[in-house]
Amino acid sequence: MSTEQTELTQTPLLKIWVPWAGGSTNQRRGSSRPQFTNSPTMIVMVGLPARGKTYISKKLTRYLNWIGVPTQVFNLGQYRREAVKSYKNYEFFRPDNEEAMNIRRACALNALKDIANYFAKEQGQVAVFDATNTTRERRGVIISFAKEKGYKVFFIESICDDPEIIEANIMEVKVSSPDYENCDKEEALEDFLKRIECYKTTYVSLDDESDRHLSYIKIFNVGSRYLVNRVQDHIQSRIVYYLMNIHVTPRSIYLSRHGESELNLLGRIGGDSGLSSQGKKYASTLSEFIRDQAIKDLKVWTSHMKRTIQTAEALGVAYEQWKALNEIDAGVCEEMTYEEIQENYPEEFAMRDQDKYRYRYPKGESYEDLVHRLEPVIMELERQENVLVICHQAVMRCLLAYFLDKSADELPYLKCPLHTVLRLTPVAYGCKIEPFYLNIKAVNTHREKPVNVDVTRMPEEALRTVPEHF
Amino acid sequence: MSGMDDDIEPCGPTPSRELTQNPLKKIWMPCKNGLPERHIFQRKVCMTNCPTLIVTVGLPARGKTYISKKLTRYLNWIGVPTKEFNVGQYRRECVKIYKSFEFFRPDNEEGLKIRKQCASAALNDVRQYLTEEGGQVAVFDATNTTRERRETINRFAEQNGFKVFFVESVCEDPDVIAENIVQVKLGSPDYTHCNTEQAVEDFMKRIKCYENSYQPLDEVLDRELSFIKIIDVGRRYLVNQVQDHIQSRIVYYLMNIHITPRSIYLCRHGESELNVRGRIGGDSGLTARGKEFARCLGQFMHKQGISDLKVWTSQMKRTIQTAEALGVPYEQWKALNEIDAGVCEELMYEEIQQRYPLEFALRDQDKYRYRYPKGESYEDLVQRLEPVIMELERQENVLVICHQAVMRCLLAYFLDKTAEELPYLKCPLHSVLKLTPVAYGCKVERISLKVEAVNTHRERPENVDVTRQPEEALLTVPAHH
């Protein structure tokens, strides 16, 4: 064990202290990312068709990617559609259809191969294997595969016997599937129900006794009950917590920034200023808008900063202040204009343009830090129903990226203008987004990525995309 | 969910009320004539709109009291006023001397009567705590093994407007049960006059008394109830009808704790450059003595001979420099960064007194809730550290190299210290605290690594009034260069 005192240097982008041994940083023992797990994890869905497996797969994948765990879905139905170009009818899924069985088995093996590739060559950390996996035999194949490769396995089984829920699922996502392009709704529904029957005869649920060594969660009737067995590590624990907090009750989430602030007008970032007169106009217009929406049991959330609270005050309803919704901390750049940042910290300014997601302001935060800070907000948003979140530009970008599944590269450039409300409504496997511009003029605060992000660039090149201000 | 009172009603658009910033917590709230108005809502961990009654269920020696105490400690730490009510204690108060297991025989009418009275007395105290003493969660710790008893509790809760959440512990592993008995039952007041063998024998017979009438929570019969069933010390969980945020957090917590023996080591970074100059915050490196401490820490940890030790630091230079000397992998947590002193970063206390005398006084008045301008409070720190605590619960042997305020928060969690005590807990430089869970609490061993360092602990001065003289404010500032 070495006991030399190595010098430390701070990485310019992330502002992380690392040992500096004569220029090479290969001796890094300190990881700055929390270790969720030490081996790749396969999440394996289990359940009859129309039990929400794909819904859960996509949602979970979106969440894991947002919190920084590279995750991908491998949907067996898609592999099958590629192998069998046109779907005729449910007979393909009959348990005695040998030819189809072979095709389906080959598809499963292909998917597993792609999963191995995702882990080995694409730095994936979690793979979600979205298929029915309803027989012990199929699950056995997956378990052996994972064991051989050193992957952890976590099963998610969805069990539902409420015919109304099942029919609603089918109408929401199945009748519009590529499989049923040329059918009308009634035909699609009828065929799909027969498809489900094909699986029922061979369906063996995860069993308390025989599967007691496996790690899994069983979700009953869309979350009224859960059975959790042998959670192995942190990431599985987080997955369980997430699954236990999501619901499918229809609702809408409204995202908006505070009204235009005094500092906005001056082109200055951060700070804790109050609303400008336009901002106050927006607040009262927002109040009318919300009233007209006639939302049942609306919760209103703000940050701890004056401008969001002033905006909420105009609504005349109860609201909750969350420190976690505070704007990104710009550290030494707080309350500066972009011109001043360019003048005082040209290198920092360039680095930010090079990697806006990971860049951390000196004595401040990065978008990556913001996402970490906002995770409890997202978790609570999942639990809630109708919510209006009045927040800030960077914060709103992070929340929006979660709902719309935007990558880390896109996130810091999402357009979240002042005086615009975004209404997000979950639909099918994603989110419908409706923008409402409330027609109250405001400055533009969106700075696009300039063409030249090099530290050697001229000031004009850096400042080209700065929006106008006083 | 939410911290809303029931008597607040949404009203039509009012002209935006003026906002004022509360001087202690720096929270913006509406004011009238310069005075804060009543309806202030801030994100507190108050996530349920009616009080919650947590009811344990299970045979003796299944860890109900362990869970009750631990859960209570956690909830209080995150800011949810919680109290446990242990029916066994009520019984000991009622029946001064415990003779034998015969008291618990199901045909002992006298015994049954007393036990029912004790349960009622406890429920009465629960009602008082939740309705009159500002409590939010009450943990009713008893066997509650019959459906009939649980029905009584449900009715009680309904009458009083409390939500009920059952926590059942089911375990048939004889080794676990035996270990429980040894750890916590032998030392119980019930068995002060017995030797080990007698105590164990009596206790096993006591358990038998409950077994015949035990009706575990059932998936079907109890499907309308909210509960978690913990099977075999956490290998398996059945979770039913979680109603709200606090129950969801409780379930998450219960699913992350374990009882595998392990130790948690807490220490601060080695002495830093700013420490010796009496300056707070900042991101300075270690002094020579600080580096010496880091070396000694490395030797000390090596001697402890722990397999699989995890080492965590903050993202500040001084903790990382300290960890580097250990020569093992470590993880940097931003959440472990020292409290942000905002405008007071890198100032000496003398300078804070000079530039911000009002702030300095407010801090002494309520050090837990006080938030530095553009900075944080201890209360904010606790919220920031909650994921760290959750992960510490999941882990086994961990060394956390952090900072004074952070270490105080973590220590307060493990040692069940109040918000008032927390900011004054002694966490000197160059000493390591080794925490080992034992019975219902935590054993603490303080190891001073015999490397000199400045004292950074400032006691609360006697005069905390804003009108005080500078000398009175600075009386307790520790010496520095």
Helix (H) or strand (E) holding B121: helix B109-131
Residues of B in contact with A30 (CB under 8 A): 313, 320, 323-324, 329-332
Q: Is the pLDDT of residue A33 over 90?
A: no
Q: Which residue of B has its CA nearest to A5?
A: B325
For residue B411, give every residue at least 6 positions away whose Cβ sits within 8 Å of its Cβ, in sequence order, or none: B266, B417, B425, B427, B433
Mean pLDDT of A16-33: 67
Question: Has A258 been annotated as catalytic?
Answer: yes
What pLDDT is attached to residue A424?
A: 98
Q: Do B298 and A323 touch (CB under 8 A)?
A: no
HEC secondary structure over A292-334: HHCCCCCEEEECCCHHHHHHHHCCCCCCEECHHHCCCCCHHHC
Q: Is the pLDDT of residue B12 over 50?
A: no
Q: Is the pLDDT of residue A90 over 80?
A: yes
* pLDDT bucket at B37, cuts 50 / 70 / 90: low
What pLDDT is attached to residue B96?
A: 86
Q: Which residue of A has its CA nearest to B316?
A: A17
Nearest-10 Cα torsion for A326, A331, A336, A342: -130
Average pLDDT, chain B: 92
Mean pLDDT of B18-45: 69
Question: Has B132 been annotated as catalytic?
Answer: no
Q: Is the pLDDT of residue B219 over 90?
A: yes
d(CA A102, CA A245): 38
Q: Which residue of B has its CA nearest to A382?
A: B245
* pLDDT bucket at B6, cuts 50 / 70 / 90: very low
* pLDDT bucket at B368, cuts 50 / 70 / 90: very high
Reduce the DSSP state of residue B207 to 3 states and report it: helix
d(CA B250, CA B136): 13
Q: For residue range B114-158, what is the model confidence (pLDDT) as tens digits?
A: 999 999 999 999 999 999 999 999 999 999 999 999 999 999 999
Instruction: List the structure tokens of B352.
Output: 């804070």
Q: Is the pLDDT of residue A343 over 80?
A: yes
Residues of A in contact with B323 (CB under 8 A): 29-30
**B6 vs B242, residue with greater confidence:** B242
Q: Do A17 and B329 touch (CB under 8 A)?
A: no
Q: For residue range A303-339, what is the model confidence (pLDDT) as tens digits?
A: 999 999 999 999 999 999 999 999 999 999 999 999 9
Rounded to a whole number of angstroms, the distance from the CA of B20 to the nearest CA of chain A is: 9
Q: Is the pLDDT of residue A197 over 80?
A: yes
Residues of B in contact with A240 (CB under 8 A): 255
Rounded to a whole number of angstroms, the distance from the CA of B351 to the nearest CA of chain A is: 21
Query: Which of A83-92, B263-272, B409-418, B427-436 has the least mean pLDDT?
Result: A83-92
Reduce the DSSP state of residue B35 to 3 states and report it: strand
Residues of B in contact with A309 (CB under 8 A): 19, 28-29
Q: Is the pLDDT of residue A68 over 90?
A: yes
Catalytic residue among B171, B209, B409, B442: B171
**Choosing among B21, B166, B226, B239, which should be mutated to test the A contact, i.e. which has the most A CBs within 10 A?**
B239
What pLDDT is attached to residue B9?
A: 37
Q: Do B331 and A228 touch (CB under 8 A)?
A: no
Q: Which residue of B has its CA nearest to A36?
A: B391
Rounded to a whole number of angstroms, the distance from the CA of A99 to the nearest CA of chain B is: 40
* pLDDT bucket at A38, cuts 50 / 70 / 90: confident
Q: Is the pLDDT of residue A408 over 70?
A: yes
Reduce the DSSP state of residue B480 to 3 states and report it: coil
Task: Indicate the residue of A17, A316, A319 with minimum beta-carbon distance to B315.
Answer: A17
Question: Has B171 been annotated as catalytic?
Answer: yes
What pLDDT is attached to residue B185?
A: 87
What pLDDT is attached to residue B183?
A: 87
Mean pLDDT of B296-302: 97
What share of chain A in percent tops pLDDT 90? 87
Average pLDDT, chain A: 94
Q: For residue range A201-235, what is the model confidence (pLDDT) as tens digits?
A: 999 999 999 999 999 999 999 999 999 999 999 99
Mean pLDDT of B378-397: 97
* pLDDT bucket at A31, cuts 50 / 70 / 90: confident
Residues of B in contact with A280 (CB under 8 A): 16
**Rounded to two decimals, what is the model's pTM?**
0.93
Residues of B in contact with A231 (CB under 8 A): 255
* pLDDT bucket at B353, cuts 50 / 70 / 90: very high
Question: Has A160 been annotated as catalytic?
Answer: yes
Question: Are B102 and B209 a contacting pair, CB within 8 Å?
Answer: no
* pLDDT bucket at A470, cuts 50 / 70 / 90: confident
Rounded to a whole number of angstroms, the distance from the CA of B385 to the nearest CA of chain A is: 11
Task: Indicate the residue of B41, B331, B391 with minimum beta-carbon distance to A31.
Answer: B331
Residues of B in contact with A318 (CB under 8 A): 4, 8, 10, 39, 41
What pLDDT is attached to residue B15?
A: 53
The C-alpha angle A235, A239, A240, rounded to 5 degrees, equals 120
Task: Specify whether the backbone of A157 is left (phi greater than 0), alpha (psi in -120 to 50) or beta.
Answer: beta
Mean pLDDT of B305-318: 95
Q: For residue range B241-257, what is the model confidence (pLDDT) as tens digits?
A: 999 999 999 999 999 99
Rounded to a whole number of angstroms, the distance from the CA of A227 to the nearest CA of chain B is: 4
